[in-house]
Structure 1
Amino acid sequence: MTTTGIFLLTILALGFLITFQIAKASEYVSVLKGEKKAFEQSNKVNAFLMVVFLVLGLLGVWWCNKLLFGKTLLAHPSASDHGENIDTMLYITIAICGIVFIITQILLFWFAYKYQYSSKRKAFFYPHNNKLEILWTTVPAITLCILVGFGLYYWFRITGDAPKDSLVVEITGKQFGWIYRYPGKDNTFGKKYFRMIDEGKNNQLGLNWIDTTIVKKDHNKKDAGTVEIKADPATFDDIVTNEAIYMVKDQPVKLVINSRDVVHDVGLSHFRLKMDAVPGTPTTLWFTPKYTTEEMKKITGNPKFEYEISCDQMCGNGHYSMKGLIKVVTKDEFILWKAKQKPAYAVAFPAPEAAPAPAADTTKAAVTTVAKEVKPVIAAAKP
């Protein structure tokens, strides 16, 4: 255990001991002074402490916000257009809940002080008021319906049809990492089949590269027929990478999200978006990046800044390490990056190196030249 941990445990232990001693002393005082007098005195102290806690609590909220707000994502602008709407909704929700919280807490603690026990005042029993109950039921209900309505509106926009000029990228989660796929020159994703996944043969997604026959098994692990898989020419130029997902600033990007094993969740905190990755059920979302990675480094003041993909769904022992990188670049930078990428098929089945081109037959040429030079000499030497 660290020194800080020991220090905190010591403080908690001392706090418990002090509270226990104060409680015991209060019992002794009540015996010496009489039960009623001790109750009235402790009641005044508690009422005063309520006001103290109210003031200290509100000051604490303000101080924590001032101290820690700069470390939150809200201190920097959203990196996507949809994220701006999410931020607006969040600020509205925080404002409404914050106002209600402050008003109710002030009333709660102030009433505890104002209406403390007094022998000169008799409590008034106020059991029911239809108007008040309708008011504090309907107003929150209407407010929540409006907030939920805006949430659904933006949800359908984010998960709806992406613009036609969108960059389409497939992202697949696995324990514990991400696989990214881009279509090749044909701009079409090739077909894949999960039974063809083979890490040893560099086929992380089960792309249909070759004709094959797969034997199906039933729940008793007995043969249940076969499946004929035909090679799909569209798979031959698909680009598959694990390093990072590349996006273009100001160009819509559509993510087609899958999972290879269990339920994961693509968390795009800087873009204020997230979407579940469900085995066998592709999900989608789209957005438009607003800032390149280099621009975001300047905005955040962090020269090491990188956009990240987190898994926001507990998916196993290595869940904490399931982090991916996003590179937002310019159009020219993206074209250059994509031109350097090899199709997954070429990586799995590298073409045999071509035999070295035969060198120029210098020997034969040299012999011919020598023969031409020597021939007259030999002729002259003949009798």
Structure 2
Amino acid sequence: MIYIIAILAILFVVLTFKVISQTRKIINKNKVQPGTDSEYLGAPDASNNFNAIALMAFWVLAVIGIVFSYIHYSQFFLPEAASEHGKRTDFWFWVSMSIITVAFFLVNTFLFLFSYLYRHNPKRRATFSTHNNTLEIIWTSVPAVVMTGLVLSGLVVWNDITSEAPEDAEVIEITGRQFAWMVRYPGADGQFGKSNYKLIDDGSGNPIGVDYTDANSFDDFFNSTELHIPKGKPVLLKIKARDVLHSVFIPHMRVKMDAVPGMPTKFWFVADKSTAEMKAMLNDSEFDYEIACTEICGKSHFGMRMVLKVDEPAEYEKWKAAQKPMITLNPDLLNKVPENLKAKAMKFIEVDPAAAAAPADSSAVETK
């Protein structure tokens, strides 16, 4: 590697001197002696005409290609946003796109047009202007004002969705790991139990390090296949990562936020279309919202996907009521509960009815 760098450095120095040498030759060749008229040393007029016409033809073909690609691929655009802030995001996106598109076509049209109109003509002499303060102020201030407006409009939306969520928001915790999402709900008490990365233990069924010395954790329940949220109610996603960088992306909700190890992030939004409504709108019975990871996190990054279900409020509450706490599904977690809280934790442990009905002393025998 050192030899390659040395060879490249030498080559760079040689080429640099070559460029300087050729530049000096061109300057000397094109010098005009005082008192003499300058002579045009460029390409013949036929070549200038050809280049000018070719540039205009290129621009016309480019415009046709751009318009065609936009119309053709618009079928792959995301459908209408399914969240309240998503509609604002889309509005300002298209405002920005409109301004940028107009500026793009306007600037490039004049660029190619001037190349054609002002190609070399021996009967025309160019005028030279050192500067124009008025023009400088206009073409500096106008883009600055427009860009500032676009940035501030996006900042307002961003500040809204990353600000403190409403008090009645449904709070859900989502944690990224290689290569899956883990979702935790706070249970009936509405409060999450504490968690600590030092307590992570996949073998014992504690993949996000829930602290079972905290009684608030007893009714917390998990889901690693689907994320359910209610329609029409603010949802606050508390986002974490337990290994490397991930990114929560819900395209239909226009939600995207990085999941950073050791630095919790958040995002709140209001879904205004249930899964059933979106299926009907798209006429697609197989449709499901999805959560994808948009931060390359390893070799199986492509498969890091979770289904998102947007339920009607009543359906959502019914679904929540049917979920079982993790400590119920994995009674071995009771070993992590301190003695003074085990009685409270036992309320979430399901007892086998057959075992409960068995005699206390199985060695007892009937006597006559």
* TM-score interval, smaller chain: 0.7 to 0.9
Q: Which residue of 2 aligns with 1:357?
A: 357
State how 1:52-201 maps to structure 2 within 5 Å. 52-73=57-78, 76-201=79-204
State how 1:237-252 maps to structure 2 within 5 Å. 237-252=219-234
Query: Which SS does the other structure have where 1:95 is aligned?
Result: helix
Listed one character per residue, the Cα deviations across residues 331-368 of structure 1 (whole Å, up to 9, x for unaligned) are: 12212222221111112216453416369xxxxxxxxx
1:173 corresponds to which letter in structure 2? G
Deviation for aligned residue 1:92: 0.8
Query: Which SS does the other structure have where 2:44 is aligned?
Result: helix
State how far apart, in whole Å, the 2-side matches of 1:358 and 1:308 are. 47
Deviation for aligned residue 1:125: 2.5
Q: Is 349-358 or 114-123 further displaced after alignment?
A: 349-358
2:207 corresponds to which letter in structure 1? Q
Question: Any stretches of 5+ residues in structure 2 without a counterpart?
Answer: 1-40, 332-348, 360-368
1:285 aligns with 2:267: yes
State how far apart, in whole Å, the 2-side matches of 1:194 and 1:58 are. 55
Q: Which residue of 2 aligns with 1:47?
A: 52
Deviation for aligned residue 1:124: 2.4
1:347 aligns with 2:322: no
Q: Which residue of 2 aligns with 1:367?
A: none
Query: Which SS does the other structure have where 1:189 is aligned?
Result: coil
State how far apart, in whole Å, the 2-side matches of 1:157 and 1:248 are. 20
Listed one character per residue, the Cα deviations across residues 268-327 of structure 1 (whole Å, up to 9, x for unaligned) are: 211112111111221111111010112112223333221111212222222222112110
RMSD between aligned residues = 2.0
Question: Any stretches of 5+ residues in structure 1 without a counterpart?
Answer: 1-35, 210-230, 360-383
Deviation for aligned residue 1:61: 1.3
2:123 corresponds to which letter in structure 1? K
2:310 corresponds to which letter in structure 1? V
Q: Which residue of 2 aligns with 1:14?
A: none
Deviation for aligned residue 1:189: 0.3
Deviation for aligned residue 1:127: 3.4
1:234 aligns with 2:216: yes
State how far apart, in whole Å, the 1-side matches of 2:54 and 2:195 are. 67
- 8 A contact 1:202–1:347 mirrored in 2: no
State how far apart, in whole Å, the 2-side matches of 1:77 and 1:134 are. 40
Q: 1:302 to 1:43 in 2, by over 3 A?
A: farther
TM (normalized to structure 1)? 0.75
Q: 1:37 to 1:93 in 2, by over 3 A?
A: closer
Deviation for aligned residue 1:38: 7.7
TM (normalized to structure 2)? 0.78
Deviation for aligned residue 1:181: 0.5
- 8 A contact 1:83–1:272 mirrored in 2: yes
2:75 corresponds to which letter in structure 1? G
Q: Which residue of 1 aligns with 2:289?
A: 307
Q: Which residue of 2 aligns with 1:269?
A: 251
State how far apart, in whole Å, the 1-side matches of 2:188 and 2:93 are. 41
Identity of aligned residues (%): 40
2:352 corresponds to which letter in structure 1? E
